[in-house]
Homo-oligomer: A and B are copies of this chain.
């Protein structure tokens, strides 16, 4: 249904506040293409791929995208999930079950509201950018626990408990459509008239990258002080620590304060 010039222009304009869709280790190019189509149906255009199995670009993705090729051309590819979410301030992990992680579990409607709230809460029309993202795992096994640990909350799609098998593009479609339906993204939000204050800057959520830097510091310090008694325990302990800090959703000020606290506890010597 492409066609007139004005239609084409609308296709190019991303909807305000649309979340990034991050496919982690997607297997089939065809599925990536169908995800792109489902995203563009819902005016969601920021596609990110983490280590796609068959490399990138992938001609079978374009064949399945039914015209949503621009979105594929603009897709960003990352080696790790961590890099793919580095600039995001609110991240959801899509899973069928809670996996025993202590995180909020949102259905697509609640997730959509949370994303809209997140976008409108921050001074997102000003210099401080707020950006949400939604992680989807690979077709075979979904997200692994280390990916989920990076998320602020879990997104779970409530389906017929007797038949929950949903393909990747359908999951992406339901989530993106819930986002589209929950807001009115084609109406531009009025720009805030007041300039952003320092206080608002401090209240802004820290980016994943800012939290990551904090946790890397912490990890190396703990390593140095023999916190991880055994090599087997280390991954679990680290995942729990990461889970806690990402789930907590620290502000920029919180991250600065935590740097200060950790530095102070080490006697100011070793914290850089």
A interface list, Cβ under 8 A from B: 1-2, 7-13, 15, 37-38, 40-43, 66-68, 96, 100, 102, 107-109, 158-167, 170, 173-174, 177, 180-181, 186, 189, 199, 203, 218, 221-222, 225-227, 237, 240-241, 244-245, 247-251, 253-254, 257-258, 260-262, 264-268
| A158 surroundings in chain B (CB, below 8 A) | 180-181
A200 and B145 alpha carbons, distance in the complex (Å): 17
- Docked-complex contact A165 and B247, CB < 8 angstroms: no
User: Which 5 residue pairs spanning A and B have beta carbons closest together?
Assistant: A10-B162, A248-B248, A11-B162, A265-B265, A43-B160
| A1–B266 touching, CB < 8 Å | no
CA distance A250 to B243 in the complex (A): 10
Q: Is B265 in contact with A1, judged by CB distance below 8 angstroms?
A: no
Contact residue among B107, B248, B264 (Cβ-Cβ distance under 8 Å from A244): B248
Task: Give the distance in Å from the alpha carbon of A163 to the alpha carbon of B14 in the complex.
Answer: 12
User: Given the complex, which residues of B lie within 8 Å of A244, measured CB to CB?
Assistant: 248, 250, 254, 257-258
Q: Are A161 and B199 in contact (CB under 8 A)?
A: no
Between A and B, 11 residue pairs with Cβ closer than 8 Å are A1-B165, A9-B162, A11-B163, A41-B164, A41-B165, A100-B199, A160-B180, A174-B174, A227-B264, A248-B249, A265-B265
A14 to B129 Cα, complex, angstroms: 46
Residue in chain B with minimal CB distance to A248 = B248
In whole Å, how far is A194's beta carbon from the nearest beta carbon of chain B?
Answer: 14
Report the bound CA distance from A244 to B266 in whole Å: 21
Choose among B15, B167, B248 the residue that contacts A160 (Cβ–Cβ < 8 A): B15
Contacts of A260 in B (CB 8 A): 227
How far apart are the CA atoms of A60 and B169 in the complex, in Å? 20
Bound CA span A39–B109, Å? 19
Q: Are B257 and A237 in contact (CB under 8 A)?
A: yes
Residue with the highest number of chain B CB atoms closer than 10 Å, among A177, A237, A266: A177
A245–chain B nearest beta-carbon distance, Å: 8
